Structure 1
Amino acid sequence: MLSALIIDDETPSREELKALLASASDIEVVGECANAIEGLAAIHRLRPDVVFLDIQMPRISGLEMVGMIDPSALPRIVFVTAFDEHALKAFEEHATDYLLKPIEQERLNKTLDWLRSDAQPKAMTLPASVSRLTQIPCTTRNKIFLIPLDDVEFVHTDQSGIHVSSHDRSGVTELTLKLLQERTALVRCHRQYLVNLEKIREIELLDNGSAEAVTHTGKRIPVSRRHLRDIKSQLLLS
């Protein structure tokens, strides 16, 4: 049995695909999401075998969303799109497979046969424009929002999740510290913290060899002895 997640901002499109997949007794739709932020959370929570992902979605596109998935949780991706054949050529090298809207049962069956064969997905080489993140998707109790990377002061992790802090808001993200370190300009300053060097006002050196970075808004961020030298080097300090 293969588990599938559908991510598409259009309800009729999700319903159409669910109806088509219902004819396959070995495919279980474990969830559906209306936007990329919901989709990121669902992927990490449900760990589906395959995600049917719309390319054109508001705020965060399907391609951008793929760039936000931790590689260890990356399922096989089938892009679903209304682009015509010619326009789709730009996306082929970044997809494991794709379906054109409106989806035809015969074409879907070919995709399902490929999934059943347990073939390894092609390596996904993301376009340069989405390999680096410019915003971090976050949630609070009743909101879904994006924090521009330029506004982020620091990110830290604890038992309740990955927390993103800016000068005027904070939220929890599904992105990991490792992914954020690889795809943003945030710098590791502690095992549990990444910091935006441009937001640091001063660094206070402590007696034990560690330090605290103080942001322009007065927030204090631990800097471990292990990472202090790297931080000082990037700030061109001896």
Structure 2
Amino acid sequence: MRVLVADDERNALSTLEELVRGHPDLELVAACSDGETAVEQTLLLGPELLILDVQMPGATGLEVVSVLPPENRPLVIFATAHDDHAVEAFALHAVDYLLKPFDDERFRVALDRALERRREEGPGPNEERLQGVLSEQGEDRLAIHRGGSLVLVPFEDIEWVESADQYVRIHLKDGREELMRASMGHLEKRLPSARFMRVHRSAIVATDQIHGLKSATSGTGQIRMRGGASVPVSRTRLALVRRSLK
């Protein structure tokens, strides 16, 4: 894979060059110290992967990607000391978002993700990786792709979640719903256990939104949510739900 790197810090740029050259499946085609040159060299050389700093003279890394034609846009990894641009980066379909300082192993993981994306998927939203970055930064929001835009849903707005084939349906307190491509297991890890509970293999609820619990003779149960929804409770989770309501 042909790679262009860009960073306005000389030492950081040299490090990126060395790391790319050390990967057997990558070819370094250009190293740029500003955003304007990165755009020019990308259009001229047609690299398949860009590794960009965010804050650079001439154009930011985000601006570099934004001005490139979407139909011919390379894969992108952002490598930056700034942790407040992750949402924008993944809205541009970034493969990964590296926070400086990072070690060689973390960099190789990002490169391997790029190679895998190129082989199997082609450029596209990497929603699960974005959730990981938000989690690392302590963000209490979910990032959901809706059409061509990115929507951030605060945890506090969520009433309950149910599985929907390869997606999850997020029910909000105001009655709206959002569909997110993720597994229930992934979402269970992402949502804080102090505020959310897995009550069934197909359902997670916000504990402060539980209005009541009704047990059945079969050993299962039904939770009545404050918004009026009825959510199933499995046999294995029923005792846990009862304890949480005491």
Superposition TM-score, scaled by structure 2 size: 0.50
Distance in 1 between residues matched to 2:219 and 2:183, nearest whole Å: 28
| Higher Cα Rg, which structure | 2
Matched, 1:163 2:169: yes
Partner of 1:120: none
Distance in 2 between residues matched to 1:182 and 1:13, nearest whole Å: 41
SS in 2 for 1:212: strand
Distance in 1 between residues matched to 2:141 and 2:147, nearest whole Å: 20
Distance verdict in 2 for CA 1:19–1:146, change over 3 Å:
same
Matches within 5 A, 1:1-238: 18-19=42-43, 22-23=46-47, 27=48, 52-53=77-78, 60=87, 77=96, 79=98, 91-93=100-102, 96-97=106-107, 130=136, 132-140=138-146, 144-159=150-165, 161-168=167-174, 169-185=176-192, 186-235=196-245, 237=246
| CA displacement at 1:176 relative to structure 2 | 2.9
- Seq. identity, %: 18
Query: Which residue identity lines up with residue 161 of structure 1 in the other structure?
Result: Y
In the TM superposition, what whole-angstrom CA distance separates every residue of 1:145-201 from its partner, at most 9, and x where no partner exists?
222101101111122621111122211123432222123222111111111111111
SS in 1 for 2:87: coil
Q: Which has the higher helix share?
A: 2
Partner of 2:15: none
SS in 1 for 2:187: helix
Distance in 2 between residues matched to 1:127 and 1:160, nearest whole Å: 22
Give yes or no for contact 2:167–2:180 (8 Å, CA) kept in 1.
yes
Structure with more contact order per residue of length (Cα contacts < 8 Å, sep ≥ 6): 1
In the TM superposition, what whole-angstrom CA distance separates every residue of 1:27-81 from its partner, at most 9, and x where no partner exists?
478xxxx8xxxxxxxxxxxxxxx7513766668366xx7xxxxxxxxx7x463xx
SS in 1 for 2:228: coil
SS in 2 for 1:181: helix
Cα-Cα RMSD: 4.4
Give unpaired runs (5+ residues) of structure 2: 4-34, 51-61, 63-74, 116-131
Distance verdict in 2 for CA 1:21–1:209, change over 3 Å:
farther
Superposition TM-score, scaled by structure 1 size: 0.52
| CA displacement at 1:142 relative to structure 2 | 7.2
